[in-house]
Amino acid sequence: MNKLKTTGIASERERLLNAQGGVCGLCRLPVYADAVLDHDHSTGQVRATLHRGCNSLLGKVENNAPRYGLGSPGRLAAFLNNAAGYLQRHAANPSGLLHPTFSTPEEKRLKRNAAARKKRAATKTT
């Protein structure tokens, strides 16, 4: 393995981005100005060029995986692979139910307005 020098990061990032067809190695959307060189923090291996946001979210997932019992790379990979299908299957709400703590934007607006009316009434009496 060759260790990349700091001065070579920009050229390697561009080389990988060109090899990836100009798209993020993770989300597969076009990369413009926010490209970063992704690497595995436990091994140091350079992986791909990603959007800054994709890289940040991936880091959060990888760093927190052990906390939730997904510490081994195989378990995390299996979880993420299955998560995509899970989210796609449930995008249309097959259960037809909403969680009791969920509020629609209209319900949130009404609650905000009620709280504002209550606050205004309290300031008028003082």
CATH of the domain at 57: 3.40.1800.10
pLDDT band at 41 (very low <50, low <70, confident <90, very high): confident
The candidate with the shortest Cα–Cα distance to 80, out of 102, 99, 57, 98, is 57
Q: For the whole model, what pTM was predicted?
A: 0.74
pLDDT at residue 94, as a whole number? 85
Asked if residue 11 is part of any domain, the answer here is yes
Asked if residue 40 is part of any domain, the answer here is yes
What is the rounded average pLDDT of the residues 91-114? 92
Tally of domains in the chain: 1
Which range marks the domain in which residue 28 is found? 6-74
Asked if residue 54 is part of any domain, the answer here is yes
pLDDT at residue 126, as a whole number? 65
The Cα 24–Cα 13 span in angstroms is: 11
Asked if residue 79 is part of any domain, the answer here is no
